[in-house]
Structure 1
């Protein structure tokens, strides 16, 4: 089944690089007057060449609906963003609203509003529950989910039909289908298994979490556990059965997905931008998108999100910030912005509005079951690096040894 995604190119740029040239300092038309309780400073990263214009469209509509409030926009590249916000904070000039990634440090310094203080009850209730939970520190949400990305299994329908297999729903059916496809020969692999350094932590999550494990939470990183061993041993089972491509331990995700797009891999976990890549690279590919198979077939996806947060610079701006957030997250404003940037919505109303998008539906369907990296834990960066450098050893070392080594590297900081 041929798929299409009208904003695939923007999504590819956003997710694949997340680092584009700075759009510089801007502002909405009609900026004027001094800094006061009715002027909001908004600092955001550039997701695409259109990010600045996309925000300016939002701001223009907001200011028209709220003529007493002005919004000053600053767009920075991802390379510069964290340095810029740190410099502003040190100078006592933190933005009122900030679109970024890690936020736990700001919470520790008591710089952010709890989000329920700066959105209406209706807006707060509209967020997907799993995304709000991922924005919590000690049970309180301090960041608003902004955009999402999720994973699903891309299936080459033609290869599976040729092998006499069907799209899998659990690990047993995945192993069976992948083994049959690999047996076709001719350089075809059943399942694309990227355990190389590019994104080993993501493939690890697919299997370890799919078997009932986790990477821990905000208070503790837990890699070397019996639950995670189940998934790690299943990876080895797939490799040993010849169900994957050759040398999975050093294979990177992006070039492997290119091989799937060329029609030489039966199944591989992909992202929403993969749809656009297929449309551009091999539009005649006969494929479908299904939920990621897990040990027992229970629903699961690996979720990634960025967020908005509000700094407590001036208590007098709280009402203005609340009005901006409520306006921005209304479906008629938020959904076009998300579409323009090529991501998935984090709101229930946004998902409902895009439910008719055939290419997005498989990802939207699994969003409520998204699980996330424990990014609010200070040791997550060490865990991320450990997976990237060590997890590929599963190809040749016992699964237990690999998990033990990763845990040791995490504990060492």
Structure 2
């Protein structure tokens, strides 16, 4: 996510908040009615209630909401912006790394500057760093997300197994779960943004654990993907697959299908962003789901979680209804709007003192954030969107036997070195 994001996210990631398709497209930019606002979002399952609350708080206002899958949205948004068919308000991912990211869209002049809004200077430094382009804020980042093992507590209890906190325990956990007939994790690699999440969770510890300055070294040319611990993380990802950590045929399972497996106890859980918890609860209202850090070494003290700002919202620089668009973004960043959004997503707010009480399922994520044992989703600091796209398609090719880890990392290096 990148959606880390994720991501996707995972995002991602993220992560964006990175979610499944829920409508017939994103063509929603026409019309200049001062009481009608057009929004396109990937926050399926959470943005709907936020929109309802916004309409209730603004009598007479009508929101035309279109939701879209992450892949569909990222393929279309630049074309819509350049052709004048984009909505007033749209999902924008923090930092860089994908076609819908803040840096990419702000650099092209597609986003309204939000620096003059009261919430902008209040963003924490780590969040602000991925909300700004050339010192100006262009995206309203309302929530923080993390990537880890999301367990179905009822299925876990039935298995008699205990969540692992070391790499050796993780592999043993996967083998034991498989032997009991219930794979450890559902993996929906048919949707290519899903492929990055396990890798990001492993990279956080293997790469950034020993070297928090890795991004700066990449920027200065002191290291590369192919000559770093990214190779170790990718090897561990494939070791998990060979050890039976995932259900059969991850490439034949999409995001929604993977949720169904985890929600119904056909797997013990999934490696995902915390945004998936609310979706799992929709599929299984009686279920309890908890996020735990994915271990990558045999020292639990070394484990780091990828955690960063989730996808937020930006305003089209050529919005048909700029005033209403600004009102909506400010509602999202208000205590009421932010709390409602993160509650629906199962996330954490970016601004302090909102009064939000985090779900117990996020206790470990909160602990890691407070202890500074997190790193941003990797793609948020990459110089262009091509690196992530190469990674996502390359991971699918590796899972289908059409590529190799060495080839993928070299291709990512080539794209990274091409710059912005």
TM range (shorter): 0.5 to 0.7
**In 2: Cα distance, 1:194 partner to 1:324 partner:** 33
Output the TM-score relative to the length of structure 1: 0.66
Does 2:338 align with 1:334? yes
The structure with the larger Rg is: 1
Rounded to whole Å, the distance in 2 between the matches of 1:162 and 1:275 is 20
Structure 2 runs not aligned, ≥5 long? 1-16, 93-99
d(CA) in 1 for partners of 2:45, 2:174: 39
Q: Identify the match of residue 275 of structure 1 among 274, 277, 285.
A: 277
Is contact 2:278-2:346 (8 Å) kept? no
Report 1:248-287 matches (<5 A). Answer: 252-272=254-274, 274-282=276-284
Count of residues in Structure 1 that have an aligned counterpart in Structure 2: 371
2:144 and 2:307 in contact (8 A); partners too: no
1:293 Cα deviation after fit: 2.9
Shift of 1:146: 3.9
1:372 paired with 2:377, answer: yes
Q: Which residue of structure 2 aligns with residue 347 of structure 1?
A: 350
**Paired residues of 1:334 and 1:350 also in contact (CA < 8 A):** no
**CA shift at 1:300, angstroms?**
0.8
Task: Look up the SS of the partner of 2:268 in the other structure.
Answer: strand
| TM score, norm. by length of structure 2 | 0.65
Mark the CA change 1:210 to 1:26 in structure 2 (over 3 Å): closer, same or farther.
farther
Aligned equivalents of 1:136, 1:178: Cα separation in 2: 41
Q: Which residue is 1:167 aligned to?
A: 163
The partner residue of 1:145 within 141, 148, 156 is: 141
CA distance in 2, matches of 1:158, 1:71: 43
- Distance between the aligned counterparts of 1:285 and 1:94, measured in 2? 37
Q: Deviations for 1:358-383, whole angstroms, at most 9, x for unmatched residues?
A: 45656666667362242575642353
Contact 2:390–2:411, Cα closer than 8 Å, also in 1: no
Change (3 A) 1:305 1:274: closer
How far does residue 400 in structure 1 lie from its aligned partner after superposition?
Answer: 3.4
**Could you list the runs of 5+ residues in structure 1 that have no partner in the other structure?**
1-12, 33-40, 64-69
Pick closer, same or farther for the CA change 1:241–1:61 going to 2, 3 Å: closer
Report deviation, 1:231. Answer: 0.9
Q: CA RMSD in A?
A: 4.9
Alpha-carbon distance in structure 1 between the residues aligned to 2:50 and 2:104: 29
Partner residue in 1 for 2:96: none
Deviation string, structure 1 residues 204-225 (Cα, Å, up to 9, x no partner) = 2222333225996896995323
In 2: Cα distance, 1:263 partner to 1:94 partner: 39
Q: Is the 1:45–1:75 Cα contact (8 Å) retained in structure 2?
A: yes
Q: Determine helix, strand or coil for the equivalent of 1:200.
A: helix
Alpha carbons of 1:394 and 1:407: their partners in 2 closer, same or farther (altered >3 Å)? farther
Q: Give the structure 2 partner of residue 181 of structure 1.
A: 177
Counterpart for residue 311 of structure 2: 306
Q: Distance in 2 between matches of 1:49 and 1:257?
A: 13
SS at match of 1:143: coil
Match of 2:128, SS?
helix
